[in-house]
Structures are given as C-alpha cells and as structure tokens.
C-alpha cells in the first residue's frame, strides 16, 4: 500500500467519523430529554397556591385544571436534548448552537377525599392526579465537529409531538388550624405509567419514579379577607432505567397572596422558585452536574359560586419565568375548576385548598 493510498483512507475515515458524530448529535435519531438533563423535573412549579394549608371540608372533591406552557432554551439546555453518553468519539471536538422550543396543553384531574375524623389532631386528605393532553417540541441549530484539521458543519431541525396520558401522582396531606394560622405537611410522588420513550423529543411521562414531601403555612383572616400561603418541599428522583440517568435532589417553593374583594371574588399574586440542590448522575461530561433553576411570578383571580348544595370554584393564574438555568423557561397559565362540599356559611372563603395539581 502506497503512502498516498494510506492517507486517502485515513482522510475518508476521519470524514466518516466526523459526519457520524455530527448526525448523531443533530438528531438523525431523536434523543430523549433525560430527566433534569433536559431541564424536565418531576415537580411542576406552581402546583400549590393560595389557601394551600387551610383544612378542607370533609367529603369528596374534584378539581380539573387546564395547564398551558410555552418555553424555550438554548446552549447546554437545548444540547442536552440531543446528547447521549458515548454517542460520538471522545477525540471529536464539538461546538453546538442549538435552540429548543416546547409547548404543552394538559388537562389534570384530581379527585380527593377529605376525612372527618382527625388524625394526629389534624385533617387528613388523600387523592391522586392524572393528566392527559399534548406536548410538542422542536430543536434546531448548527453543530460544528472538528477532528484534527478536518472541520464539518451541519444544520438541522427536529420536531416531535405526542397526544396521550401522563404519569400518576398520588398525594396525602395533613392540615391543622389555629385561628388565622394554618399548617400542613404533605407527601406525594410519581408513578411512571405515562407515555414515555427514551428516543422521543416530546414526552408526557418522565420515565422514572420520584417521591416528594414538605410542609406549608397559610395566614388567613376571614374578617379582613387577607391571605398569604407558602409551601416548600424536596424531591428525590429515582434512576431512569431506560437511560441510566438520575436527577439530583430538587428544592421548590410555591407561594400565593390574595385579597377577597367580596365573599365570592379575590385577586392577588402567585409565584414560585425551583432550585436543584445536588448534581445529576449519568450526565455527559460536558454537562457536568447540570443543576437546574427557575423562578416565576404573576397575577391570579378567583371566583366562588354555588353548584346546587356544593361549592364551585374558578381560578385563573399565570406565571412569567426568569433567572432560569439549565432548564427551559417562558410562561404558563393555569385555569382551575373545582367542586367540593359547601363550606360553612359563616366563613368568607372556602376552607379547602384552592389550587391543586
């Protein structure tokens, strides 16, 4: 074999290797949003809101929530949707300029039963939330791969959508009342039975189990109609067996404040903070621990009305997100309709949790 022939074969091998790496990263086969690696967490910020810790009225209640979200991301957050560990040679240097856009339109149903018999001096309620709807995402951008003197540039777009059901989220709460002060503790989690595939860009399930617990406080003065609530919790994520990826521990803080203008109408503000505390494991080396963070704030409006001998409730709230890190950010809205046993006529507002997932 001549030296020229050997050089030509080496050059062809370099080209094939670089093209293979480029095509893999740009998604000739769409890669998964690997848990928090893709900026997707179990906890949905905004899950709790006003009157979160106020004890409920015993009996069955049902809440239906329409949730819309529109987010975008670039840099490592977008690249994480494409990168799979070991997918391209370590000797290939890459530069990614990617942009992710995603939308979700979901309906969440939450039946809950509140017990009349006290437990540890408080009021116990158990329920489960299921969801269905549509999720869509598109990823576009340019990747430059270099191997020695050879440089390959590729531009591409991936689009994906799914309409199906999501995971199940059981929850138990225990609440106590002491005048205008109300306290709660809760435990919830994720049962990963929703539509999920590690080769999809858009999913409705997260592909792994999770457990979450925390506590909250509500100040509510029926005489003045002034209310403030705050709920904080921690999430432990189990390993995604399809990807061998595991999220770190997450901290979240939801709050709401409102002023009742009458017995039926209140206005106010809502907000949340979300911060990952420990590193993910199983991440691609260029992502590191990939800890995610986001904050949100916005207005809310609520309206109470009778439905026969039951109580109906409508709430509209919206969040604009900011200070996001390693997580898509944008805005989201929640429209909640719930029906529950009628609260005592002497109260200004219903003695139950207003906002639920």
The tens digit of pLDDT for each residue in 219-253 reads 999 999 999 999 999 999 999 988 888 989 999 99
Identify whether 94 is part of a domain.
no
The tens digit of pLDDT for each residue in 5-53 reads 444 444 333 323 333 333 333 333 333 333 344 557 899 999 999 999 9
Reduce the DSSP state of residue 150 to 3 states and report it: strand
Domain that holds residue 170: 34-77+101-141+158-341
Q: How far is CA 120 from CA 115, 184, 216, in A?
A: 12, 12, 17
Identify whether 20 is part of a domain.
no
The tens digit of pLDDT for each residue in 267-305 reads 999 999 999 999 888 866 666 677 889 999 999 999 999
Identify whether 337 is part of a domain.
yes
Is the pLDDT at 354 greater than 70? The verdict is no
Report whether 41 contacts 251 (CB < 8 A): no
Number of domains in the chain: 1
Return the number of other C-beta atoms located less than 10 Å from residue 88's C-beta: 18
Which position has the token pair 């998964």? 32
Distance CA 314, CA 301 (A): 8
Identify whether 192 is part of a domain.
yes
Identify whether 246 is part of a domain.
yes
CATH number of residue 122's parent domain = 2.40.128.130
Structure tokens at 5: 């022939």
pTM of the model: 0.80
Identify whether 352 is part of a domain.
no
């Amino acid at each position: 074999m001549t030296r020229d022939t050997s050089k030509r074969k080496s050059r062809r091998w370099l080209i094939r290797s670089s093209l293979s790496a480029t095509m893999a990263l740009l998604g000739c086969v769409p890669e998964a949003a690997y848990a928090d690696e893709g900026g997707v967490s179990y906890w949905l910020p905004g899950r709790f809101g006003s009157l979160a810790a106020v004890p409920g009225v015993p009996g069955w209640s049902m809440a239906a929530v329409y949730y819309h979200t529109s987010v975008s991301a670039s840099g490592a957050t977008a690249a994480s949707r494409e990168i799979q560990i070991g997918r391209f040679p370590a000797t290939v240097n890459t530069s990614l300029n990617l942009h992710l856009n995603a939308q979700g339109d979901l309906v969440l149903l939450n039946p809950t039963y509140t017990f009349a018999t006290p437990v540890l001096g408080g009021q116990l309620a158990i329920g489960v939330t299921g969801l269905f709807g549509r999720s869509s995402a598109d990823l576009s951008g340019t990747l430059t791969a270099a191997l020695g003197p050879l440089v390959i540039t590729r531009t591409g777009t991936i689009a994906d959508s799914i309409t199906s059901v999501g995971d199940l989220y059981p929850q138990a709460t225990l609440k106590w009342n002491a005048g205008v002060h109300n306290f709660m503790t809760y435990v919830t989690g994720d049962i990963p039975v929703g539509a999920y595939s590690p080769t999809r860009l858009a999913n409705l399930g997260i592909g792994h189990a999770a457990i979450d617990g925390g506590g909250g406080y509500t100040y509510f003065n029926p005489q003045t109609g002034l209310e403030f609530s705050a709920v904080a919790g921690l999430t432990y994520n189990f390993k995604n067996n399809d990807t061998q990826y595991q999220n770190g521990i997450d901290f979240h803080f939801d709050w709401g404040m409102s002023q009742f203008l009458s017995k039926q109408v209140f206005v106010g503000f809502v907000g949340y903070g979300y911060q990952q505390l420990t590193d993910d494991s199983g991440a691609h080396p260029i992502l590191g621990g990939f800890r995610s963070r986001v904050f949100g704030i916005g207005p809310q409006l609520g309206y109470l009305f009778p439905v026969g001998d039951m109580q109906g409730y409508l709430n509209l709230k919206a969040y604009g997100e900011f200070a996001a890190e390693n997580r898509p950010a944008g805005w989201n809205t929640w429209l909640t309709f719930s029906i529950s046993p009628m609260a005592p006529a002497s109260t200004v507002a219903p003695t139950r949790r207003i906002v639920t997932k």
